[in-house]
Chains A and B, each alone.
Chain A
């Protein structure tokens, strides 16, 4: 490929896009002054035609009335909010306590505390999730082979209590 040090090429623009030089460089002072006054006003009016057009065109309205439209505001299907653990109708979840998500997490936001079932096998005791250190990077969800956790679509994550940022996701201990 070309050596960058050897190239001092001319300006390469398609002419239709490059803006014209408004004031000729070799005009006299008086001429420059008058050209400036005229082009200043006309270029300003050209720009204002755009803004006024936007002002009266309802199609260009992009503002959302946010707190009022909370009910019909739907986030995208893949939206990454806080980590949630879906429970079925019986209140059971799919987590087996394998700690793959804990290992995948870059910031130690997840602690899987296992306990012993009466039969002696290891099951999930507490699934602790710390929203305050979570970067919502989705790596835990990708690491989980059982689909036990997913990203919620809730986006209003601000809170006034810092205790609310640490939560236990499972409602009851895991099954065998």
Chain B
């Protein structure tokens, strides 16, 4: 009852035969991609209101970061958005590099771009499989994972782990590329391009898929800006913004790539934008592999990295889901005074009500899947 106090009570629907009720979706629901709890107010089968309830996987990462050095902090960001951990690591490393004035060797910058883009493809492949499975195409899920496995194998050979890589270091990367990495990456790229054409025939062209996604979960451009959406979700609503292009970090300004933008703002637009992003990532990888220089992979840095007292450093990166930002305030010791993360998924889940009110409950699954939520990223 306490919950209903701050919720506007709407009159029952005009049909007369239905009744409003609350439904708890999650935290143990297979379609919520983790421990996300959605409290849904339904009128028959029509969604009237969605309230995301968070806190089931809260680990107080920001507080933990205050007791760890920046170097120890990197491995914690693997555990925020575990499908974009290279990009999250990049944000921490850039904060450390800016605060302590460390340069990064050329080769390390190229390696960072290559593995980040490989990870973006890997994340989108997993999203593609999970999204198709949410709609009901089970074989797509298996094909997406089979393709993703090739990139995961590259990461395993490169940094020793498949999911929580902890590969970037302030001033470079932890280990040099293994022999044959370039060949593996090129092979993975050509496999992805072939697979994307296959996915086009399997899912994109399917009438059932199109009917389930076109016109469903529309997020207008103004609302996308208002809720702070970023990444593929915002670009599908017509917001032409990509951190890699508009606030270039690392060496992203050296590569030519398109930022796919769609204006429809529905689930299908989000799908199309992400599929095109994979093609663009392949382009970036090919350009980076062509120019990959030889040289050192890590700059000499002090053993203890201290953020100067009172200095506030803010850096943002484009992860597979949107813009991830880290702010750190130093107090002159080895551990930062305060660390704050901005994760893209939180804003997308906040906009979930805006997208799904008025649609059926089956569409809510589609909309949630199209947002590509990673719950540990939403709830830190």
Q: Is the CB of A40 within 8 A of B207?
A: yes
CB-based contact B263/A1 at 8 Å: no
Interface string of B188-210 (1 = CB under 8 A from A): 00000000001011111111101
Q: Which of B29-37, B112-120, B157-165, B338-346 contacts A (4 or more CB under 8 A)?
A: B157-165
Residue A139 contacts which of B71, B204, B246, B276 (CB distance < 8 angstroms)?
A: B71
Cβ contact within 8 Å between B157 and A1: no
B240 interface neighbour in A4, A13, A76, A80, Cβ under 8 Å:
A4
A13/B272 in contact, CB under 8 A: yes
A5 partner, pick from B68, B157, B225, beta carbons under 8 A? B225
Does A77 reach chain B (CB closer than 8 Å)? yes
Inter-chain contact B225/A106, CB cutoff 8 Å: no
B227 sits at the interface (CB 8 A) = no
* B286 adjacent to chain A (CB < 8 Å): no
User: Please, which residues of chain B bring their CB within 8 A of the CB of A51?
Assistant: 139, 202
A4-B246, A9-B261 known; A50-B276 Cβ under 8 A: no
B207 near A43: Cβ-Cβ < 8 Å? yes
- Within the complex, the shortest CB–CB distance from B347 to chain A, in Å, comes to 15
Contact B205 A62 (CB under 8 A): no
Q: Does B238 contact A (CB under 8 A)?
A: yes
Q: A10 contacts B263, CB within 8 Å?
A: yes
Contacts of A135 in B (CB 8 A): 75, 164
Interchain CA distance A151-B260 in the complex, whole Å: 42
Contact of B75 among A19, A47, A139 (CB under 8 A): A139
Which A residues are in CB contact (< 8 Å) with B261?
Answer: 7, 9, 11-12
Query: What is the 8 Å Cβ interface bit string for chain A, positions 141-176, against chain B (1 contact, 0 not)?
Result: 010000000010000000000000000000000000
Interface centre among B143, B160, B279 (most CB of A within 10 A): B160
Contact of B262 among A11, A40, A43 (CB under 8 A): A11
Q: Is the CB of A36 within 8 A of B207?
A: yes
| Range class of the B interface residue count | 35 or more
B137 and chain A: residue at smallest CB distance: A47
Least Cβ–Cβ distance between B80 and chain A, in angstroms? 14
A104→B74 CA distance, assembly (Å): 12
Given the complex, which residues of B lie within 8 Å of A106, measured CB to CB? 68, 72-73, 75-76
Interface string of B241-256 (1 = CB under 8 A from A): 1000111000000000
Q: How large is the interface on A (under 10, 10 to 19, 20 to 34, 35 or more residues)?
A: 35 or more
Q: How far is the CB of B160 from chain A (nearest CB, A)?
A: 4
Q: How far is the CA of A36 from the CA of B214 in the complex (A)?
A: 14
Q: Are A50 and B198 in contact (CB under 8 A)?
A: yes
Interface residues of B in 65-88 (CB under 8 A from A): 68, 71-73, 75-76
A8 at the interface (CB under 8 A from B): yes
Interface string of B148-163 (1 = CB under 8 A from A): 0100000011111100
The residue in chain B whose Cβ has the minimal distance to the Cβ of A53 is B198
Which residue on B lies nearest to A35, using beta carbons? B207
Q: A17-B200, A19-B200, A43-B205 are in contact. Are A12 and B160 (CB under 8 A)?
A: no
How far, in Å, is A12 (CB) from chain B's closest CB?
5
B366 within 8 A of A: no
Contact indicator B201/A2 (Cβ below 8 Å):
no
Q: Is the CB of A78 within 8 A of B175?
A: yes
List residues 15-56 of chain A with CB under 8 A from any CB of chain B: 17-19, 22, 36, 39-40, 43-44, 46-47, 49-51, 54
Shortest distance in angstroms between A157's beta carbon and chain B's nearest beta carbon? 13
A22 partner, pick from B149, B203, B210, B279, beta carbons under 8 A = B210
Q: Which residues of A contact B207 (CB under 8 A)?
A: 22, 36, 39-40, 43-44
The residues of B that contact A49 with a CB separation of less than 8 Å are: 201
Q: How far is the CA of A76 from the CA of B152 in the complex (A)?
A: 12
> Can you spell out 8 A-B residue pairs with CB atoms less than 8 angstroms apart?
A5-B225, A17-B200, A17-B276, A22-B205, A40-B208, A78-B156, A78-B178, A106-B76
Additional pairs, 9, CB under 8 Å, beyond known A4-B241, A135-B75: A4-B239, A4-B240, A4-B246, A11-B261, A13-B260, A22-B205, A47-B201, A50-B198, A106-B68
Name A's B-contacting residues (CB within 8 A). Answer: 1-2, 4-5, 7-13, 17-19, 22, 36, 39-40, 43-44, 46-47, 49-51, 54, 60, 62, 75-80, 104, 106, 135-139, 142, 151
